[in-house]
Structure 1
Amino acid sequence: METPTQPAQEEEIEEISVDVTEEGQVWLHGRDWELLMSPEEARLLGESLLDAADDAEEATE
């Protein structure tokens, strides 16, 4: 994974929605994309996002 060397240009923030399908999958979706995950995959993604957020906060302190 590459580390950005410059801050990203200001972009419009896209809304991300999270729903549960009738089949019990987690449906993460935006305006023109979607991702279906099992509950376990969604948990792993959530944990990874929390870890990355912690790392980002520590890097700015």
Structure 2
Amino acid sequence: MNFKECKSLSRNWQSNPYRESSLISRLSLKGAVDLKENYYVKKINDSYDEVLPIDEGKKFSEI
């Protein structure tokens, strides 16, 4: 059996299996918080920061 005959998924599909849907639609399906102009930075120590949302109710929505 030839190796090329055994490939079930193309190389393009393996590199990006989510290419059919947009990033915004995937984020809205997961209920992710939109951090655009909705965040503050909390200093943990000299080398670490934590980015936290101001309003956790601001979610991504499909346009």
Q: What TM-score do you get using the length of structure 1 for normalisation? A: 0.26
- Larger RCO (CA within 8 A; separation ≥ 6): 2
